[in-house]
Structure 1
Amino acid sequence: MTRVLHILDHSLPMHSGYTFRTRAIMTAQTALGLEVRGITGLRHTMDGPDLEEAEGLTFHRTRGEAKGMTGLREWRETSLLADAIVELAQEWRPDVLHAHSPALCGLAGLRASRRLGIPLVYEIRAFWEDAAVGNGTGTEGDLRYNLIRRLEDYIITRADAVVTICNGLKQDLIARGNDPQRITIMPNGVDLTLFGTPPSRDENLARDLTLGSGPVIGFIGSFYDYEGLDDLVEAMRFLSESHPDARLLMVGGGPRADALRMQAEASPVSSMIRFMGRVPHSEVENYYALCDIMAYPRKKSRLTDLVTPLKPLEAMAQGKLVAASDVGGHRELIEDGVTGTLFPPDDPKACAEALAALLSDRLHWEERREAERNHVAQAHDWHHNVSRYLDVYQNLRDPGNNGAHASGPQG
């Protein structure tokens, strides 16, 4: 039985898009007969034991403290994680180390891989320098941005295999000079055993939220600037002209939460907008059930053009119509007019027009929902797609493979 140790920034029982993808991967790999565990670095901040079981999965924690100036602090953090990987590997003896971005996890995995003689898979879920720009904590092209990019390149060229979540990221890596044969795409997906049976609409919850009897547009997720939620709030002013009974339900939180609430309160259509705040993950489906259309108005940027989000796939699995901005990450997931509606990014009026067109076309709603559900089942079901990892792992374990572990640069 192949043993795989996943090297992670953080994990369950913390809840985030990152931890949910990890849960899906590890659960599906277990179902395929692999033996899997996870190990987290210092950025897993939830209290818990050194060895923790969460939702049937096993996670090991790295302990210690990393202090010092920027650069030195991260180096110490990486060293602690690498030492913890080596110590665990000597006891549990994995066949493959599978590190997931950000780059600090990749670097720790690389150092441990070379010390242990175990091959390393590095999986890139996003370029974290671009994510920092997208959430307002970084600037494209500055020193920090370029250092992270160089570190990522260093890891990519030395890992034994590379995985990305979408074609946008793969094409960017190829443009940097990486061999496309070393890069496998493992697309975002949905665990249909968890998300495939939507609950009925909770009329009591709808009444508590004063949603009325009209259509509901929803957004469930994190409130980051790149999500374009200010455009969605503004779009309601235009939508009110044709559909005054529509409501916007915003579920979640994040850095832009306060600003969005203030914007909504100042809007002439503030009565159309509801904020729920964060809800337990176990209750998310109840809020999906209240919505007719899920809207994803991401702003156009390097991040949103390269990276595919998870939320539109969850919405499709829940049987919700999807309207999204026409950025590269959405185009990989959505066929306009078939599995969703695309509209120009950074344009509240265009967003409103797309929503109005969907609301006025109820005759084709069920046809659209069926197309979306079929798309998820055929192309984005975790329990089907996760088999791609088996080929990656087998190639690394085969003594005759041409991976970097056998012949590539060491470092």
Structure 2
Amino acid sequence: MKTVLVTSQFAPEVGGVPRLLWAYSQNRPQTVSLRVLSVQQQPTSFYADFDARAPFPIDRVPPGRKRGATSLDFLRRFGRIVRQWQPDIALSGVAYPTAILARLIHLIYRLPYVVYAHSEDVTIGRPLARWGLGWALRGATAVLTVSQFTVNELRKLGVPPERIHLVSPGIDVQPFTEAHPHAAWPGKWVLLTVARLVARKGQDTVIRALPQVLKSVPNAHYVIVGGGPDEAYLRQLAAELGVAGHVTFAGHVADAELPAYYARCDAFAMLTRQGAGEVEGFGITFLEAGAAGKPVIGGQAGGVADAVANGVTGLLVDPLDGRAVAEAITRLARDPALAQRMGAAGRARVLENYTTAVFARKVTAVLEM
């Protein structure tokens, strides 16, 4: 089956969506021939080595200088691939905007398409964009999505329930099950967050909870992996609260080095909250922590409830309730037996349900329907 994957994000770019689509491309069955068409988010030199080594063709469309130019260039390149390569089906790796382009191509070439919807790509609030998204999704052969939260969002857009397929993400578990712990922070009880430094990821909530946590867990240390626009604000917040010495900003960490951070931590937390049109669709980092055998703390927002089995693999709390967040952190720190049980349960859950092999098999089954 010849499949053209069209997306606005693809590896080696950073983020959950590029990582997820790369996981599918690497674990798809041999019966699936793949070609990728993606928007170029970085300078050409950023992709050169990666694209040269990729085991399938990757086409990148540079961003246009004028509004709408990128979409027009993307559409032209998409049409050329359809004419020359003659794929059997298109997979739109995100709902907005590439699903709209997939429907336009369908109208011209009758190429069937499947859409993989995540979170921010289906919760857009702009009326015209939302109308176009609904039009595109309703024309798809099937719509894959990551969580029950996004299933409900798709129904609001008028997607027939029988076309919606819940296919949760998968990860390569081996790096996380075999990693050696990072050597830093000896003697500390380490809480880890791996996420972009933006408001909805909730690093500020954890920092605000630290003064209360430190009263019961004086050796607690918060390690923040990731970069983003909120770094200066978060550093200032930690200083104002007098906890700067208990917080490490590790910055961007390469994927190959991440498992060592998970192996070193005692618990993982991401207190995501819903923002203006932004929400966590699932939370792949919860799976990474689970694969590493670590208990997790998640915010009750979006699709996090699908990633975290509350009371089994971790704790779900109101991300806006600082006291509840502090209590959850303290509970795991002061009850190592509970933390160990939750970590073990998390690993077992990931190994059974959230590997890249399981994920790729489910995606391919829908493509072949």
Return the TM-score normalized by structure 1: 0.83
Take 2:178 and 2:57, find their aligned partners in 1: how far apart are those partners? 28
Amino acid aligned to 1:17: G
Give CA deviations for 1:105-161 in whole Å, capped at 9, x if unaligned.
112222223322221112212243747xxxxxxxxx5xxx22221121111122222
1:78 to 66, 71, 83: 71
Partner of 1:288: 262
Take 2:56 and 2:292, find their aligned partners in 1: how far apart are those partners? 25
Deviation at 1:222, TM superposition (A): 0.7
SS at match of 2:195: strand
Is 1:186 paired with 2:167? yes
Q: Using a 3 Å threshold, how does the CA distance of structure 1 residues 376 and 171 change in structure 2: closer, same or farther?
A: same
Is 1:337 paired with 2:311? yes
Partner of 1:35: 33
Q: Using a 3 Å threshold, how does the CA distance of structure 1 residues 148 and 127 change in structure 2: closer, same or farther?
A: farther
| Structure 1 contact 11–44 (Cα < 8 Å) conserved | no
Q: Using a 3 Å threshold, how does the CA distance of structure 1 residues 51 and 316 change in structure 2: closer, same or farther?
A: closer
Give CA deviations for 1:28-71 in whole Å, capped at 9, x if unaligned.
21x453111211124454434599335545311225x6343xxx
Deviation at 1:261, TM superposition (A): 1.0
| Structure 1 contact 101–126 (Cα < 8 Å) conserved | no
Deviation at 1:181, TM superposition (A): 0.5
SS at match of 1:253: coil
SS at match of 2:35: strand
SS at match of 2:80: helix
Q: Using a 3 Å threshold, how does the CA distance of structure 1 residues 58 and 366 change in structure 2: closer, same or farther?
A: farther
Amino acid aligned to 1:339: T
Partner of 1:400: none
Partner of 2:192: 218
Query: Which runs of 5 or more structure 2 residues have no equivalent in the other structure?
Result: none
| Structure 1 contact 50–60 (Cα < 8 Å) conserved | no
Deviation at 1:324, TM superposition (A): 1.3
Structure 1 stretch displaced more, 42-51 or 151-160: 42-51
Take 1:95 and 1:247, find their aligned partners in 2: how far apart are those partners? 52
Partner of 2:129: 148
Partner of 1:92: 85
2:139 to 158, 171, 187: 158
Tell me how many residue pairs correspond in the alignment.
Answer: 368
Partner of 1:202: 182
1:111 to 104, 124, 130: 104
Take 1:303 and 1:242, find their aligned partners in 2: how far apart are those partners? 37
Superposition pairs for residues 4-83 of structure 1, below 5 Å? 4-29=3-28, 31-43=29-41, 45-47=43-45, 48=47, 52-54=51-53, 56-63=55-62, 66-68=64-66, 73-74=67-68, 76-83=69-76
Query: Which runs of 5 or more structure 1 residues have no equivalent in the other structure?
Result: 132-140, 396-411
SS at match of 1:319: coil
Give 1 or 2 for the bigger CA radius of gyration. Answer: 1
Return the TM-score normalized by structure 2: 0.92
Take 1:304 and 1:338, find their aligned partners in 2: how far apart are those partners? 27
SS at match of 1:118: coil
Q: Using a 3 Å threshold, how does the CA distance of structure 1 residues 54 and 152 change in structure 2: closer, same or farther?
A: farther
Q: Using a 3 Å threshold, how does the CA distance of structure 1 residues 174 and 147 change in structure 2: closer, same or farther?
A: same
Q: Using a 3 Å threshold, how does the CA distance of structure 1 residues 160 and 224 change in structure 2: closer, same or farther?
A: same
SS at match of 1:39: strand
| Structure 2 contact 206–271 (Cα < 8 Å) conserved | yes
Query: How much is the aligned-residue C-alpha RMSD, in angstroms?
Result: 2.3
1:244 to 218, 243, 256: 218
SS at match of 2:57: strand
Take 1:388 and 1:212, find their aligned partners in 2: how far apart are those partners? 42
SS at match of 2:215: coil
Q: Using a 3 Å threshold, how does the CA distance of structure 1 residues 127 and 149 change in structure 2: closer, same or farther?
A: farther
SS at match of 1:201: coil
Partner of 2:295: 321
Take 2:195 and 2:56, find their aligned partners in 1: how far apart are those partners? 24
Amino acid aligned to 1:122: V
Amino acid aligned to 2:153: D
Deviation at 1:322, TM superposition (A): 0.6
Take 1:42 and 1:214, find their aligned partners in 2: how far apart are those partners? 42
Amino acid aligned to 2:216: S
SS at match of 2:14: coil
Partner of 1:168: 149
Deviation at 1:229, TM superposition (A): 1.1
Take 2:227 and 2:322, find their aligned partners in 1: how far apart are those partners? 21
| Structure 2 contact 179–259 (Cα < 8 Å) conserved | yes
| Structure 1 contact 161–182 (Cα < 8 Å) conserved | yes
Deviation at 1:196, TM superposition (A): 4.3
Take 1:327 and 1:377, find their aligned partners in 2: how far apart are those partners? 24
Take 2:328 and 2:49, find their aligned partners in 1: how far apart are those partners? 50
Take 1:54 and 1:105, find their aligned partners in 2: how far apart are those partners? 25
Take 1:265 and 1:325, find their aligned partners in 2: how far apart are those partners? 24
Take 1:23 and 1:387, find their aligned partners in 2: how far apart are those partners? 14
SS at match of 2:98: helix
Superposition pairs for residues 387-398 of structure 1, below 5 Å? 387-395=361-369
SS at match of 1:26: helix
Deviation at 1:320, TM superposition (A): 1.4
| Structure 2 contact 24–359 (Cα < 8 Å) conserved | no
Take 2:304 and 2:343, find their aligned partners in 1: how far apart are those partners? 17
